[in-house]
Amino acid sequence: MPVTQALLIANIGVFLLEASGMARLDAFALWPPGGFGSNFEPWQLVTYAFLHGGLTHILFNMLGLYMFGSEIERLFGSRFYAAYYFGCVVSAAICHLVVTSFMGGPAVPMVGASGGIYGLLLAFGIYFPHRRVLLLFPPIPLPARVFVAAFAALELFLGVTGTAAGVAHFAHLGGMLGGWLMILYRRHA
């Protein structure tokens, strides 16, 4: 699938460029707006999704993109799929910025494709609810709708309790929210 493949190549390419030290990419991470010395720029609502905070971060995100992206791209078609994915990325960024400003979070940048991946996960759960998805730890097969609901509930719990600091839990939920809104739009368009 061309869009999924392009996203995989772009994410891995940017990661290798970043890891090589040949380019400083701080200006492309999502910085909170406002305040003294704010580094926020509008393009960061998209560019942050191509940066990752380490090998494990990019591996899990690209595994999710590979596992769910191709199925959803086949279902939606490449044009709507690209709009869907980037809609999830932007809604994840906005949700993260709103929640962290409300909760008074630290002014640190956010990176990662997780908001887009969680949007894809939601679409997979909605359109393929009975398809089995295998958890990695522990290896238990679950129907996609149960898998998605469990991930959403876990992200909400972790976000509200502040567990697993350094993870943008509300960005994950924001990606799901954006995906849900895009699916509603698609069904009524």
58: domain CATH number is: 1.20.1540.10
Supply the pLDDT for residue 36: 54
- The strand pairing partners of 133, in sequence order, are 142
pTM here is 0.93
Supply the pLDDT for residue 22: 80
How far is residue 127's CA from residue 129's CA, in Å, rounded to a whole number?
Answer: 6
Over residues 48-71, the pLDDT tens digits come to: 999 998 999 999 999 999 999 999
How far is residue 21's CA from residue 38's CA, in Å, rounded to a whole number?
Answer: 24
Whether 165 shows a pLDDT value over 80: the answer reads: no
Please report which confidence band the pLDDT of residue 35 belongs to, taking 50, 70 and 90 as the band edges.
Answer: low
Whether 175 shows a pLDDT value over 80: the answer reads: yes
Whether 164 shows a pLDDT value over 80: the answer reads: no
Supply the pLDDT for residue 27: 86
Supply the pLDDT for residue 105: 66
Share above pLDDT 90 across residues of the chain, in percent, rounded to a whole number: 70
Please report where in the chains the tokens 């199925």 appear, as a residue.
Answer: 71
Segments forming the whole domain that contains residue 62: 2-188
> Would you say how long the chain is, in residues?
189
47 phi and psi angles, rounded to 5 deg: -65, -30
Is cis: bond before 32, omega within 30 of 0? no
Domain total in the chain: 1
- Looking at residues 96-113, what average pLDDT do you find? 85
- Looking at residues 84-102, what average pLDDT do you find? 94
